[in-house]
Structure 1
Amino acid sequence: MHPPVSETLAAQAGPPCPRCARRAPVGGGPFCPYCGRYLAALRWVAEPPPGTPGSEPATARLHVRYTGPPRYRVLPRWGFPLGAWKDPARSEAPAPPGPLQTARSLIGTLVPLLWATSAVALLAAGAEVWRYVLLLASRDGALSAGAVAASDALVASAGTVAPVLTAVSGALLVLWTVRAAQAAADRADVRPARSRRAIVAGWLVPGLNLSVPGSVFAEIEHSALGLPPGLRPRPSRLLLAWWVLWAGGVVLSVVVLLWSLRTGVQARADGVVLHAVLDLLAAVTAAVTARVVLLLTRLLAPSAPRRREVLVRVGPSTTAPAAPA
């Protein structure tokens, strides 16, 4: 007498699945073919190492009822520290920023200050022009007290803010020039043509500041463009325009300073015109300086080009359509 078919199939099948309670056929693999559960009858039990004080036998711990996660009356002091783990043996102090990084970080403050200096200098030029118009109008009659007070206040405020902004932006410009010259020399793998003291003296010493700043900018541009070191630097048109504006501003500043020593009504009226021209020239020079600084910095550290794919047209399909059955 043969056993029932169900008992024969159960004998040939594997252990029942703990999830769906179905029996997988023998040789079907370690996973349930119906629900995908792992069929191996494994039971993981965490036990302390042997010999640990307070350890209990595994049989005694298995019968302990689970009462939930651990609770603490106070905030526990243990745990992992914040941040990624670092090996204390291999931890090193961060390297100081290089001259190129310093030059790039300075333009974030220098360029806005130059544009602010240009705006304030332009306002000061307008205030001087207004004062000169009032001087012309005073020849035919008395002036309004309010107009004279407003003109004096505008000239005084612009004349105070403009020199302060010029001094701050000038100090940052000298520092940027020193760092940019070092970065350009490192880029061209040559030694800087001038030392730091020579560059600073070229900006500050009268007479030298007519030629040294333009020469330094031309050297930075020459090295940033990757031209041969033995070739004589030839500044670009923008740099030549800045050089002319800078030299003209220095010379005009000396003229205005000497003109202020003169006395007399006509000398004061001419001094107002000279101050207006000097303020206007300072505004243009500051704006061009901002452009030159940005240009040289971008030449030293060119940004990666941004590419994006654009669909131009859709060509014909290369695969022939299947013939209808």
Structure 2
Amino acid sequence: MNCPRCGRAQPPDATPGVFCVHCGQFLVRTRWVALPPESSAGQSSPPPRRGRYTGPPRYLAPPRWGFPALPWQREQPEAAPNSASAAAAHAGLLIPLLRGVALLAAVAGAAEIWRYVLLLRSRGQALGAREVAASDALVEAASWMCTVMAVAVGVYLLVWVLRVIEAAAERSGVRPPRSRRTVLLGWLVPGLNLSVPGSVLAEVEHAALGRPPGERPRPSRLLRLWWALWAANVVLSVFTALWSLRTGVQARANGVELHAMVDLLAAATALVTARVVAWLTALVGPPRAIPLPRVVSVREPARTDPTPASTVLPR
């Protein structure tokens, strides 16, 4: 048999097949016949009608197929939370709480100022019973609420401080310079709480910024401001508590002034503390990838030449 493509005869000793041993052409002659589709040959049957929707399927017994009754699971297990993530989680709740303390302290300060205004008015005229009762109720409610919330937030602040100390030490690769017991005593013992809290936060800032461990910490302006407000608040609170032991009309009037100053100073300290918490938490946290703009091309201003010049910088 000769190949229809190359015209060469197939060798007699070749294995019989349907392809040419020389060029691979199909040797069997074929004839293509076009036929109409089956639906056109006879009468087309109408499409089946879609039944009415009767609701979801119902089962007489619970089906055995479906997903297993297991909670959602990740493909890769999450990494164990470190001190930086724990500090960030605590800061997310601590910052609004500090702002709430600042708001309550401001309300308590306004109530004390209102009481002092009533004392000044009482020197020349009689005061209404309702007005005096409302002032006393506002002072008592605001002062107690502010005190209770300040104590609770102060305890939570200590929890954040311990976490952020560990996170700063892990970030700088050194051990914390103070133990937990030393930190807690420095924040709670009168006298020590004037210097230890500022020193602790300065050490955290120093370690988080990656400065040499043997260098003396230099606190930032925000931290120095917080340190001054904290110390002034502690001193003024102790002085006001001792002044409240005195008797006499003038001593009580001066006590109202001191309480107003303590409340307003506490409001300012709480606001600055929220800023410090956000600042130090951002320092010990992981660095964020910030996409920077990239120059692709630089075009010169329009010229009289119809062909503008452009320079493409390599990426």
Scaled by the length of structure 1, what TM-score is found? 0.71
Write out per-residue CA displacement over residues 109-130 of structure 1, whole angstroms, 9 at most, x where no aligned residue.
1000100111110111111111
Change (3 A) 1:311 1:153: farther
Deviates most, 76-85 or 204-213: 76-85
Give the share of equivalent positions with the same residue, in percent: 55
Report what 1:127 is aligned to: 111
Report what 2:85 is aligned to: 101
Change (3 A) 1:142 1:83: closer
For residues 1-325 of structure 1, the aligned pairs below 5 Å read 11-12=29-30, 73-81=60-68, 82=70, 96-307=80-291, 315=299, 316=308
Change (3 A) 1:245 1:318: closer
Scaled by the length of structure 2, what TM-score is found? 0.73
**Aligned-partner Cα distance in 2 for 1:169–1:191:** 27
Provide the alpha-carbon RMSD of the alignment. Answer: 3.3
How many residues are aligned here?
Answer: 258
Q: 5+ residue gaps in structure 1?
A: 1-9, 21-69, 320-325
Letter in 2 for 1:74: A
Q: CA deviation at 1:150?
A: 1.6
Change (3 A) 1:206 1:310: same
Change (3 A) 1:71 1:98: same
Please give the secondary structure, in 2, of the residue aligned with 1:12: coil
Change (3 A) 1:296 1:76: same
**Aligned-partner Cα distance in 1 for 2:73–2:98:** 44
**Aligned-partner Cα distance in 1 for 2:263–2:94:** 20
Q: 5+ residue gaps in structure 2?
A: 1-27, 39-56, 300-307
**Aligned-partner Cα distance in 2 for 1:86–1:158:** 48
Change (3 A) 1:139 1:105: same
Letter in 2 for 1:191: R
**Aligned-partner Cα distance in 1 for 2:116–2:130:** 16
**Aligned-partner Cα distance in 2 for 1:304–1:259:** 50
Write out per-residue CA displacement over residues 80-127 of structure 1, whole angstroms, 9 at most, x where no aligned residue.
32566789xxx98x7652211111001111000100111110111111
Please give the secondary structure, in 2, of the residue aligned with 1:228: coil
Letter in 2 for 1:127: A
